[in-house]
Amino acid sequence: MNNKKLIKVILDNVKTIFGALMIALIIRSLIFQPFYIPSSSMEPTLLIGDRIFVSKYTYGYSKHSFPFSPNFFDKRVNYKIPKQGDLIVFKTPADNRTDYIKRLIGLPGDKIQFINGEIFINNKKIERKKINTTNSVRCGKSVIEINSFEETLPNGVKHISVYNKAGTLQNTKVFEVPADHFFLLGDNRDCSKDSRYLKSVGYVKSVNLVGKAQLIFFSNDTVESRLLKFWNLNKSFRVDRLFKKIK
Enzyme catalytic residues: 41, 102
Residue 183 bridge partners (DSSP): 106
Q: What is the pLDDT of residue 12?
A: 66
Q: Where are the domains of the chain?
A: 1-30, 33-124+168-245
Q: Say whether pLDDT at 182 is over 70.
A: yes
Q: What is the pLDDT of residue 227?
A: 47
C-alpha distance from residue 245 to each of 86, 135, 217, 229 (Å):
13, 23, 9, 31
Across the range 52-81, mean pLDDT stands at 90
pTM of the model: 0.88
**pLDDT tens readout for residues 3-41:** 777 676 677 677 778 777 777 667 677 789 999 999 999
**pLDDT tens readout for residues 76-94:** 999 999 999 999 999 999 8
CATH superfamily assigned to domain 33-124+168-245: Umud Fragment, subunit A (2.10.109.10)
* Rounded Cα–Cα distance for residues 28 and 31 (Å): 6
